[in-house]
Amino acid sequence: MYPARYESWFATESQELDSQSSCASPILDLDQISYDLDHASWTHNPTLSPIDINARSLDDSINPDTSVLFSTTLPSSIHPTGTQSDASDTAIIPFSDDSDTLPLEPDILLKSNTPADLMRLFSANLIQRRAGTHRWEIECPDCKAWIKTTLPTQILSNLDAPGYFNTLSDHRQGKKCLKGRNQADSSPSLSAASSSASSISLHFTPSDTSHAINACPGVPIHWPVPGPSFLETFPVGRASAGQGVLLFDIDTRGNIPCAYSQNCAGATTTSMSPCSGCTEVVGFIEHLLSLAQDTKPHTKYRFLSHSDMVNVARQYSAENNRLKLKGLNDARRVLHILTQLDDYKSLIMALSENNIPRLQHILTVALKRGSSIRQIINTLEDSLAALPSLRTLQAHQNFTSITPTIGPITPDQLDSNIKNLLLNPLSDSSLPRRGYSVLMDKIALEERASHHRASNSVIGLCHSHSHLVDPSLHTYDSALRIAEKLAEGKIHLGKEMSVIAVGSFGDDEIFPVLAAPTCKCEDSEKMISIFMLIRDRWKETGAEEKLGPIFSFATDGDSTWRAAGHRLFLKTELSMTSKLYGTLSHMQGLNLATGEGEITLDFDYKHIFKRWCTLLRNRKGMKLVNGHTVNRAVLARYLSWLPDQDETSILKLLNPDDPQDVPRAIELMQAIITLSKNEFDTMTMSVGECADIAAIKILGAVLESILLPFIDVTLSLHQQIAHLSRYEHLTFTFFHLHRSAFMPHVLYYDSQTMVKNACFCIAKQQKLDGSQKFWLIQTGDDRLEKLFGITRMRGQHNSAMNYSQALDRIGAAKDIDTVFKKHPDLESGSRRLKITHVEGLDHIRCDLWVGDVVASHCDLPSVWKDGRDKALTVLTDAHVSAVCCAFNEFFLQDGCDLMRPWGENKYLGITSDIDGHGIESSVNSASGLPILSESILVAGPTSVEEETELDEDVLTLEEALTHDVAFGSPNIDHTIPSTSHPDTPVLVSGPGINPDDYLLVHGKYIHKETICRRVLNKYFIAKSLNRQERVYSTGFTKVNCQRELPGRSITGSDTFIIGDVFLTIIRINLTVTIALVRSTSIEHHSITCHDILASNIRTPDVKLTGQILTLIPMHQPAEQRSWLWTGDYVKTRSEIQGIKQTTEKVVEITVPGLLVELVNPETTCVRMRDDINSDKFFALNNLRNTWIIKELTLSLACDTLWRNACEHSISIKNILHIPTPSDPSMFPYALPDGSVGIVCIEASQQLAAAELGPLDDCPLCGVKTDSMRAHIGIHILRASHGIKETLKEEVGLTYPCRFCGQSGRNECKIQIKVSSKGSVSLETHCPYFHVFRYANADIGSKNRPSRNVPLKCELCHPSLTPVTGKKSCAESGFVDAVWRYNMIQHLDDVHPQYAHPKNPTGHPLPLDILNTFTLTSLEQRDTSIPESQWLMPLFDSDDDKENQPGPSTRKRKNKNTGNMNAKKARKSA
């Protein structure tokens, strides 16, 4: 294979076997990868790089500077200067065709000492280099010291840049080099060597030999080893001798690497073949190739290539991971074994320490079942605790079973449930006399019908309409009849289940007495009948006598139930003979309306908490104190002042994922209460911040009054009612001031009703048995919500259920709830209904309450007065006017109380309207029932699906039913003889099979449940298990949907935030003036945001909403005068709907950013000024700091904003207009003499001209009018119909002029020109002519319905159609026009052959011509034309928009959408 002298280059077989031990090491030793190489022994060619792929042609001559990748010495036949060692025997090798010489002058280059010159010396091999420890080093030619370069030794690159020689240049100029130069006297001088070398050319001259000498091309290395590259797969270690030095050279600059022997002659006489010395390397390279292609596993690392080493490293990494995984598995296995050992130890301890009854039987049964040790231990623990088994419970325990509602709700269903669930179980127990509350709520159902075996009926049909069909399943036709009614929409499947339960005050246990499926179509009349039925059956069954009377009916706030409860339980005033009258009549302001049996209506307090938080999270917020707005943005700004709140927590409070999350709602309320109780340094706060904090303090007092009675377990019943009394009076005051701007009518009604019911129930319990405790937390329907939570839990991960499943689950939930009441430690609770998010703490139970809640210990009249006094204290501190707090005067009015703030026996919020701005209700003194609007008695719109064809569907269903027999039918016993027709199959029988559960369908028996599934539930669609998705899919919008831009830091000087003030111009009457506005909302690109950059405000995409501040001037000269904010806002009178009373309402405006001028007013203290009347600043905060702004600033801003409006073409009518304030002296800002302080004169003049218009005298009647065209048109139209008028001049008989009404005048002749684009031009010389907008006049309006405009008669002057290939026809000139009201006369005179509304005979007119002069109903009605003389238009309909207003910014929906040819050309004159 290779010469014998190369045998020492390779390791022997024994040496290779010695490396097996190292290969078996489980840990990769990186030291084995590094080669034991001596870098100092290398001679590396700086001009050659391992990544240099420039090919060297074999025809090229050998350059003396050409080197190889690795080499100990240059080939012996080549001298560094470029000559052969034996010049006498060997001819000179030519390397260049250039005969010119390039002399090198080392002395000059050394003297210049530039990096470029030093690099030239290095390129001529006059400066040596070596591999240092970390960097390449070059030898100084003066002191012979080795100087480090910046090139690391790991980079095998050429020193081909002058920058590498900067260190040598600096070194030769230093003292260290000078000292070393003096000490190196014996060293050979470079200049001497260079002088001898200077005479030698750095090239070879051509020889005159007769034989051609070629350069040795070396041995090409063909390396078919798979891998990234040749250098990475070449085993350098195998070609090394001891110190890792290659015994041959490799040139990698070409496409194919070449090898050069150490004994390479450098030249050869044979073209394209290596010299004799390089030929000896061929066998050696072939042997290396065979070893590289077949690497043995036991090969030492030093003999592997780089690619092989990478594979070895990956193998060890994979092995390491495998061992780690094995260790983790072993650890888990050991832990499992240890756990089993612990279980065995526990079993042994249980057997040794306890006397377990029937131990052998328990162990035998457990082992037969294959129970684990843990299960056996649990069974033994149950045995020790004497817990019965499931079989024992089924044999001896009566489980709750609710009678289903099949068809309408009947007394028998209620009687059965009341007796079975309440009277029978509680008959033997001696219960104290307590009042009971009827709880009402709904739970979602899947709209699926099912078969009820006991009654042989279909259940799941809504109780409101199921009386329209027989639900019994006697035959298959019965199922088809029910399916037909469902398809017709006459009956419905239940969407929800209305559950009504009864629970006592004093016991948390509740008892469902009714569970009926509903389609949510009940009206208040239907619910009243259900309420009355429950009330009557409670008495008739004896439950009232044995258990106690019904105190209240509680609901969650359903609008239909609210309306029904209002009509039934606010029916009559409390009688003076009642036992309760002596107590409740002394509670001034308390509403005393009750129902029969003194039953009151109640609402759940947790739902009120959630609705309060919905109001707080609203963008509009609420008005407090003197009209100050507190909304979501204001709360977000100031909640960050709390130490335990950050941006993330505030975002969760104000934008929760689930708005129905009770803990989150209570957390928000508590955070506001904490903020309101903090003490702030008002001296360092701005005026706006002081006003905001004052409003938040009021809000905190209101929220504290309603929240603490239900969550503070230390409060006594006396303290709870005191808080609720304070809440009643505070909300009454602010609702009386701001109405729905403070809170929705419905929320006000519900919260006031809740407090009223609590007072009534306590008074009733005092008369019934005052020694009993009364827990306020048992009001509302929260206990029923808990029962629903357990009901959903019964479905495991699938909470969806149909009516049949819901009955079973709610019965099981009742049993589970009974266990939880006896063992509260077993209950984990429901997260969404908890008071807090703390795990393990569910609803605040009665046994956790530590305050005194004995009913007789609460004196209602005194505690009521105590709460009112506390409310007065809060209102006085808030600087609320004493007139607004005169409760004594308010409640002395007839029919005025806390639930009827304005008297007149009117209740607010009793409508189905969500925002509570609907019609109020009152109590009819004659009938005793509250009078409700008709909208209350009608439920919301219901979606009725389109009728479906059943002919083909029935056949398909029958085929599907019979097809299922082969797969799901029970076995048929053919031994039973048939008693019917021979073609009838035998009855179904078998173990556990009831033949009555099957119906015969086309010769096959089908189970009735299958029929229900296939026939009645054919179009069933499962509801989402996500409650929020179910709510939003029905069309409800997420109230707290976050559509806000992320806020920036409010500390920036260029940021405008909510609460900052700005200036804008507005219209009031005929005056355009300036207004200082405090922002309450910012809208950018239709998205609300908390702040915005000041530079982005003045754009059309920005809208600012705010309240106008009231300003009063100082007693100063006009040029020095300033205006101060009184702390109040501009208000206007607003009528209360249904009542002949008005209240003040804060004016809130929205203006575009183009009409906004930012301002930063200064702060001043009212107490420190003697040039103002301080009595007018009563609405300010206690510090009496306010804003002050100069009149010059207001005037300049007013003029600037008007110029902006003109520049952006904003018309005077588009500037915001506000109604007259309730106090006209407050706005427009008035001077002490009553005149307007700041007025934009130019804008006001334009406004007056636009509003009043030019008033001209009518030439016919003499009346002044601002629209002569419309006025004269009325006269002309009346004259054409023969209606007589008293006029100075009569209307012309033939073709009267629209401007003057006269006929026969040449100057009144009018001509028209219609361009190809549709624009209209008119020419007339009538003296009464005035410019008008043709497009608006052609459409008309409600105020000016006359549409008398000049028309071009298409019969006289037909329009030419465009010529083919041209865009349009040539435009015609002016032609004679005909006024619209004269068109019929023109047809009679010029075109008598055509028919029209007054001449029915003749050829029909083209429709487009007929429509041009047809009159509308509004035109003829406005001119007082009798309907008998009306000209009936073809399109006449009051619903049609024949008289639309002129162009506006709002887009109208075109009825001809989709018809491009219906587009009408725009006309203008």
Task: Tell me how crowded residue 378 is: count the other CB atoms within 10 A of its CB.
Answer: 13
Predicted local distance difference test score (pLDDT) of residue 212: 60
Closest listed residue to residue 843, CA positions, set 906, 790, 917: 790
Cβ atoms of 132 and 143 closer than 8 Å: no
DSSP string, 1168-1232: G-SSS-GGGGTTS-TT-EEEEEEHHHHHHHHHHHHHHHHHTT--GGGS-B-PPPSSTTTTTTB-T
Helix (H) or strand (E) holding 1089: strand 1087-1089
Residue 286 to residues 221, 300, 947, Cα–Cα distance (Å):
9, 20, 90
Q: Is the peptide bond before 1228 cis (omega within 30 degrees of 0)?
A: yes
CA distance 653 to 633: 12
What is the chain's percent helix, strand, coil content, to nearest 5?
40, 15, 45
Closest listed residue to residue 899, CA positions, set 761, 746, 758: 746
Please give the structure tokens belonging to residue 1097: 């405000």
Cβ atoms of 1062 and 1106 closer than 8 Å: yes
Closest listed residue to residue 1077, CA positions, set 1057, 1104, 1097, 1106: 1106
Please give the structure tokens belonging to residue 1096: 């982005």
- Provide φ and ψ at 1352, rounded to 5°: -95, 120
Burial of 686 (0-12, 13-18, 19+ CB in 10 A): middle
Q: Which residue has the tokens 């002919």?
A: 951
CA distance 760 to 551: 8
DSSP string, 221-288: ------SS-HHHHS-GGGGB-SSS-BSEEEE-SSSS-EEEETT--SEESSTTS--HHHHTHHHHHHHH
CA distance 556 to 506: 21
Please give the structure tokens belonging to residue 478: 């019965």
Closest listed residue to residue 1090, CA positions, set 1125, 1124, 1060: 1060
CA atoms within 13 A on the CB side of 1054: 3
Cβ atoms of 749 and 760 closer than 8 Å: no
CA distance 1422 to 1425: 8
CA distance 765 to 774: 8
Q: Which residue has the tokens 């007394």?
A: 411
Cβ atoms of 312 and 298 closer than 8 Å: no
Question: What is the separation of C-alpha 891 from the centre of its chain, rounded to a whole number of angstroms?
Answer: 46
| Cα end-to-end distance, the chain, whole Å | 109
Counting every residue written for the chain, the total comes to 1469
CA distance 455 to 458: 9
Q: What are 1351's strand-pairing partners?
A: 1378
Predicted local distance difference test score (pLDDT) of residue 1245: 81
Q: Which amino acid is at 699?
A: L
CA distance 169 to 436: 106
Please give the structure tokens belonging to residue 1233: 């003499």
Mean pLDDT, 10 residues at a time, the chain of 1469 residues: 42 42 36 37 37 34 38 36 35 35 69 84 84 84 87 71 84 84 55 35 36 77 86 77 63 83 81 82 84 85 87 92 94 91 86 80 85 84 71 74 89 90 79 90 89 90 90 89 89 91 89 91 89 93 90 90 91 91 92 92 93 90 87 90 89 85 90 91 82 91 94 92 94 90 91 94 92 91 87 77 89 83 67 46 72 92 93 88 83 86 81 38 37 32 34 40 41 39 64 82 86 83 63 46 44 76 90 92 88 88 92 84 89 80 87 91 80 73 78 91 89 85 88 86 80 69 76 85 82 86 86 83 83 81 82 82 48 83 87 83 82 80 78 45 37 38 34
Predicted local distance difference test score (pLDDT) of residue 843: 57
Cβ atoms of 718 and 857 closer than 8 Å: yes
Gyration radius of the chain over CA positions? 51
Q: Which amino acid is at 1105?
A: T
Please give the structure tokens belonging to residue 868: 């009112």
CA distance 759 to 552: 11
Closest listed residue to residue 1467, CA positions, set 1332, 1377, 1341, 1371: 1332
Using DSSP's 3-state secondary structure scheme, residue 1061 falls into strand
Closest listed residue to residue 733, CA positions, set 895, 880, 534, 538: 880
CA distance 745 to 902: 13
Residue 1432 to residues 485, 776, 1284, 1424, Cα–Cα distance (Å):
45, 70, 22, 15
Cβ atoms of 769 and 547 closer than 8 Å: no
Q: What are 1061's strand-pairing partners?
A: 1078
Helix (H) or strand (E) holding 1256: strand 1256-1257
Please give the structure tokens belonging to residue 807: 């009955």
Strand order in the sheet with 496-504: 510-518, 496-504, 436-444, 550-555, 600-603
Cβ atoms of 141 and 187 closer than 8 Å: no
Closest listed residue to residue 500, CA positions, set 576, 547, 556: 556
Residue 1262 backbone class (left: φ over 0; alpha: ψ -120 to 50; beta: rest): left
- Provide φ and ψ at 1145, rounded to 5°: -130, 130
Q: Which residue has the tokens 């020889």?
A: 207
Helix (H) or strand (E) holding 1272: helix 1268-1280
CA distance 1270 to 1337: 9
Burial of 19 (0-12, 13-18, 19+ CB in 10 A): buried
Cβ atoms of 1024 and 1030 closer than 8 Å: yes
Cβ atoms of 275 and 268 closer than 8 Å: yes
